Structure formats: structure tokens, C-alpha cells
Amino acid sequence: MDQIISFGLLQVNWKNGNKVTTGEIVSKDGGEERLEVRNELTLEINNACVKEPLVFDYDDEQLPEPPEIEDMNSYEQKPRIYLFFPAGNQSFHFTTIELEERITASVSVGWKIIKRKSKKYGYYWTIIPDESVVMYPGDRILIHFDQIYTFAKEEQISCIGIWTRDLSKDMEEDILPDRLGYLPMGIERSNPYIRKFRADTAACGVLDTVSFEWDILGCNQNHKMYPACDDLGNTAIHAKDSKTCTVYETTDYMIASGNDNRMVYAHYPVTVREPQIISFDTKDGERKYLYGDSVILTFEIANTRHCYLNKGIGRMDLTPDYSKGYEQLAGEVPVTLINGVTEFELSCLGRNGLVQSTVTITITDLLEVQLLTLTRSFNPNQMQFVYTLSWIVNNATYIKLTTSDGVVRYESSKDSMKLQDMIKFNSTCGEPLSVTIVAKRDVGIDRRKQEVMETVECVTR
């Protein structure tokens, strides 16, 4: 294939051959593997005419910012040269749009090269003179590109596009700058190499999350991780990245990278172990507290990174302490006590079911209506009902009992407090009465204040 293309009087060719080496793996610093990239290209543009010079005039007004390539004709009254690398995610593209952004360029003295971005073509370069330049026969412009990364398939021919006015035409003619030339280019690149693939642990519990990281060298785009680590089942990964996976069972994780000629693999097995609850208790070792106390529950678990606590607390994920001889984790949970007896249950999911431990805590000063009854019987001699009201209340500082007819049957005072008693009273009301008790506990501390209100119906005997 021809290595030179012509645009009127201009000829364009690669100065240093027609191959770019995109990378090779070398050893550095005591064996550390890294990717060394030789990714430079030099383009040579010559005045191929044997007798006619070419004049490039400089005019700032000819460079509006930013023009689109397809619209340049409306601005160009003098010859200009435009260069671009076909970019995209297909195999026939020279590079990707993201990697094209890294490319840098320099040009011969007396010229300048401006990098711009087109919505349609991506990045492209405009070559203009610093001032009016005359290219005599045999003169040339050298354009040097660096930081070129290409993902074209091995042995595939890639290309570079050149846009310019046809300098052999009358410059008064309205000619669109849509001439596109191709220079064939062979691709030489290194074989793929997986420099690093590791996780933050090699053993965990069921449903633990494990973080993986990897670094793949070489200019390959075909990188995959198995099994898929996302909910959509995607296996494609970037060359250098990290990802968190939820582990359900002992799994041999693997990444694969390569091209048509060679594939390389790396494995990282993660073993699911049976969890252990080493300890679960209150921080001070007590099991009896006062109402409103804030109690610290402490626990230590091993072979898993998470656990569950009932009473609305749910899943707790913990950070491993690698200073231990094994992966042991400790945690604390503050809880506020409002129930008489509370059973806290710590659970870890194992391979064959739940591993559990419980802590039972009792409140010793809980305000509680232990007994409240109201009965009645009919007295035919007096033609009225006789009611019997009984109550037992624990830990109250105030009690008030009121029947549904609005009569207060008992109310405590500072001098009289009956936590347990029975009284009788008469009523001519035919409808059975009910009784409501209001009990309070106030010891001068807001968080320890308690109040209970209950209503019971009368039972006729």
C-alpha cells in the first residue's frame, strides 16, 4: 500500500516508518512490572512541486473559536491543513475518544498547531503559520504526535485523516475542505499482562462484601471479570479499577484479558467460612437497669464482616482488624431501655443457618399496672349495684382512678400513696361502669419519667 498521499502540491507521509509500538512490559525497581510506551509519530508534509512555491498567509480573523470541521469553508480564504485520528469504540477506529484527549502535538518552527474539538469528529488539529510562510519546492513541515494509544487489532491497518484545500485549485473557487486522505499504519503492541489482581480478604462470611482491585497492562480493551459483580450480570471491566462484590459461597474469582492471539488470566479464590460469635454482652456486664438508661451492647465476631441485631437495628457492617491473629471484629451499639424485659438477639448468617447469641435486660423501676379489676353485684335490698375496685401498681409516684360516671374513686397525694388496694362503692346506674387509671412515675429526671393510662370494663357477677 502506498505510504504517501497527495493533496494538490502537498505530499504527506510518515517520517519514521509506518508502525507505532504501543507498549511493552518491562521490569523496573527490583522486578516491578510496568508498561513502557513508545507511542510517538512524526508526520511530514512536503511541497512536492519542482518549481512553484506555496504561500500560507496568517490572519487571526480566519480562526474563529471554535469552528466545526464541516463548516470551515465559510471561514477559510487561505489554505489550511487539518489532521485528525478516527476515534470511537469500534475495532476499525484508531483510538477511543477518551484516549484521543491525551494526544499532544508539536510542529516545526514558524508554525503553530491548535487542538480543537468537533462534535462530529472529536479532537482535531489545525496547522497555521505564525506569520506568512512561503514553502519553496522541497520544503517540509514536521508534525510530531506523542502519547498515542491505539486499540486497533494486531496487524490491522489504521489511518490518519488529512483535511486541506486543494492547493492546485484556484483559491477563488468555493471548494469544501472535505478531502480525506489515509496513511496506512501497522500496529505493534505488547502482549497482555495482569500486573495485579487482589482482594481485601481471602476469607469471609456469607453475604459479606469483598473489595477487589486490579491493574492490567497492555493495550487491550477486552477485559472481563467472572463471576459478574453487579446486579445486571455485566462482566466487562476497565484495565485498572476496583469493585465491591457480595459473596454468597466459596468462589474462585477470575479476570481475563487479551486479544485474538493471546489471553491471560488471574485468579483470586475467596473462601466462605462459618461465622463465630465470640462474645455478646452489655459493656459493664450488668443485666438490670433503670428506665431510660442508655446501655452499650458490645460484641466480637469472627470469620464474617457483618451481623444482625433485632429490635429494629438490623444489619451492621464492620471493618476488619488485621492486627488480630485472625479476622476478628468488635462493635458497640447504644440502646435505650423502655420495656420491662428486652431480649436482644445477635445473629450471623452461616453456611448452614443462623449463629445466634442473646442478652436479656430487665428494667427494675418500670411503671406497671400489674392488676386492675372492676366487678359489680346487685343488692336487691337497696336496689342498687355494689362495685368492687382492685388495683396493684408497681413503682408509681402518682395514681388516679376515675369511673365512667366522672367520679374520682381514688387519687394519691404526698401523704397517701396506695400502690395496692381494694375499695367498694354503690351506684344506681343501670349501665355497667368502667374505670380508667392514670399512673405516673416522676423522680425529677426527664428521661426517667413514665406515665401509664389503662381502662377496664366492669364484670357483673
Residue 284 and residue 268 share a domain = no
Residue-level pLDDT at 324: 57
Instruction: Indicate the number of domains in the chain.
Output: 4
CB of 328 within 8 A of CB of 301? yes
CA distance 229 to 209: 11
Distances (CA, A) of 316 to 136, 282, 304: 77, 17, 11
pLDDT at 382: 86
Integer Cα distance of 342 and 208 in angstroms: 28
The answer to whether residues 59 and 151 belong to one domain is yes
Shared-domain flag, residues 305 and 412: no
389 and 424: one domain? yes
Q: Which of 407, 389, 409 is nearest to 399 (CA)?
A: 409
**Which one is predicted more confidently, 326 or 236?**
236
- Is 166's pLDDT higher than 70? no
For 156, residues 6+ apart whose C-beta sits below 8 A from its C-beta are 91, 92, 187
pLDDT at 76: 47
Spatial separation of the C-alpha atoms in residues 180 and 174, rounded to whole Å: 17
| Position 250, amino acid | T
One-letter identity of residue 289: Y
- At 61 the three-state DSSP class reads helix
Q: What's the rounded Cα separation, in Å, for the pair 424 and 387?
A: 5
Q: What is the pLDDT of residue 41?
A: 80
Distance (Å, whole) CA 109 – CA 9: 21
- List C-alpha distances in Å: 41 to 105, 142, 147: 9, 10, 9
Q: Are residues 259 and 290 in the same domain?
A: no
Of 363, 394, 414, the position where a domain reaches its end is 363
Q: What confidence score (pLDDT) does residue 106 get?
A: 94
Give the whole-number percent of the chain exceeding pLDDT 90: 42
Residue where a domain terminates, one of 173, 188, 203 = 188
User: Residue 55: which CATH number?
Assistant: 2.60.40
pTM of the full structure? 0.58
Q: Letter for the amino acid at 93?
A: H
CATH number, residue 340: 2.60.40.10
Q: What range defines the domain where residue 355 resides?
A: 276-363
Say whether pLDDT at 1 is over 50: no
Identify the domain boundary among 208, 242, 272.
Answer: 272
Distance from C-alpha of 212 to C-alpha of 229, rounded to nearest angstrom: 10
pLDDT at residue 296 greater than cutoff 50: yes
Same domain as 302, residue 265 = no
Using the predicted structure, report yes or no on whether residue 184 has a pLDDT greater than 80.
Answer: no
| Range with the poorest average pLDDT among 150-159, 307-316, 429-438 | 150-159
**Angle, vertex CA 364, rays to CA 363 and CA 368, nearest 5:** 85
Return the closest-CA partner of residue 359 out of 343, 347, 336.
343
3-state secondary structure 203-246: EECCCCEEEEEEEEECCCCEEEEECCCCCCCCCECCCEEEEEEE
Q: What is the identity of the amino acid at 6?
A: S
Residues 35 and 135 in one domain: yes
